[in-house]
Structures are given as C-alpha cells and as structure tokens.
C-alpha cells in the first residue's frame, strides 16, 4: 500500500505546478498562447494538478487558510477536466496573470509556516 501524501507535499505539488506555468508562459503573450496548442495543454494540465492537489488538502488545513480560494481552485480543475471540450482560453490566460502570483505567495507562506512548526516539534 502506498504511503498517504501529506498536506505539505500537496502544497509543494501546487507550487511546482505554478512554477511550471510561469516557466512555460514566460515568453508568451495572449496571441502566442492561442496559437500554441502544446502550450495550452501544458498550462491546462498544470492547472489540473493544482486543482487536484487542492482538493486533496485536508479540510482542516483549508479551513485554517481561508485566504486561499480552495473551492474556486477545485471548481476550475473540475471544469478543465470534465468540460475539456468547452475550455475558455481567455479564462485560463486571465487565471495565469490575475490569480497565479497571489496563489504562489500564499502557498509559499503556508509551506514556510508548516515547515517552521514542524521544526519546532522536533
């Protein structure tokens, strides 16, 4: 049986996926994003990872961190996975530029806080 993945690991998965999106889109603008199917799929896949990891974060940690829009992140993943045929690329692009940086900062701070508290317990 596989070991259960802890919240800290899920948060690091979210951070990795955010960093992937940043790297993939660094040299892109909206028009080049629309023209590049491979980039679209890479970005969507990483948003799916973010949403899945967020879904699997314990409810306790979610409730203690309401500054992170867990429900919105999870719903976005649901749309990307289940309504894949109807993805609005302008919404994906806006999520990259309007939401991702704040989420990255919140996740980084949360990881730092958890690691600091774990170090205090040792």
pLDDT in tens, 106-118: 999 999 999 998 7
pTM of the model: 0.92
Inside any domain, residue 120? no
pLDDT score recorded for residue 1: 47
Domains in the chain: how many in total?
A: 1
Burial, 86: exposed, middle or buried (Cβ in 10 Å; 0-12, 13-18, 19+)? Answer: exposed
The catalytic residue among 10, 13, 82, 97 is 82
Asked if pLDDT for residue 2 goes beyond 70, the answer is no
Inside any domain, residue 19? yes
In order of 66, 85, 118, the CA distances from 55 in angstroms are: 14, 22, 23
Asked if pLDDT for residue 99 goes beyond 80, the answer is yes
- What confidence category does residue 121 fall into, taking pLDDT thresholds of 50, 70 and 90? low
Inside any domain, residue 94? yes
Q: Pseudo-torsion of CA 13, 4, 52, 66, nearest 10°?
A: -80
Distant-in-sequence, close-in-space partners of 11: CB < 8 Å, separation ≥ 6: 53, 57, 107, 110, 111, 114
Inside any domain, residue 18? yes
Percent of the chain scored above 90 by pLDDT?
90
Inside any domain, residue 119? no
The catalytic residue among 6, 77, 78, 97 is 77
Side-chain-side CA neighbours of residue 18 (13 Å): 23
64 noted as active-site residue: no
Inside any domain, residue 33? yes
Inside any domain, residue 122? no
Element (H, E) at 77: helix 70-82
Asked if pLDDT for residue 43 goes beyond 60, the answer is yes
Neighbours of 100 (CB within 10 A): 20
56 noted as active-site residue: no
Q: In which domain, by residue range, is 107 found?
A: 7-114
Inside any domain, residue 2? no
pLDDT in tens, 59-87: 999 999 999 999 999 999 999 999 989 99
């Amino acid at each position: 049986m596989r070991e259960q993945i802890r919240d800290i690991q899920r948060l690091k998965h979210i951070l990795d996926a955010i960093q992937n999106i940043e790297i993939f889109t660094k040299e892109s603008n909206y028009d080049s994003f629309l023209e590049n199917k491979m980039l679209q799929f890479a970005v969507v896949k990483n948003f799916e990872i973010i949403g899945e990891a967020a879904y699997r974060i314990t409810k306790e940690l979610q409730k203690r961190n309401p500054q992170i829009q867990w429900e919105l992140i999870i719903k976005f993943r649901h749309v990307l996975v289940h309504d894949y045929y109807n993805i609005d690329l302008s919404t994906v692009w806006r999520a990259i530029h309007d939401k991702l940086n704040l989420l990255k900062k919140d996740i980084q701070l949360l990881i730092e806080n958890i690691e600091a508290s774990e170090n205090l317990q040792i």
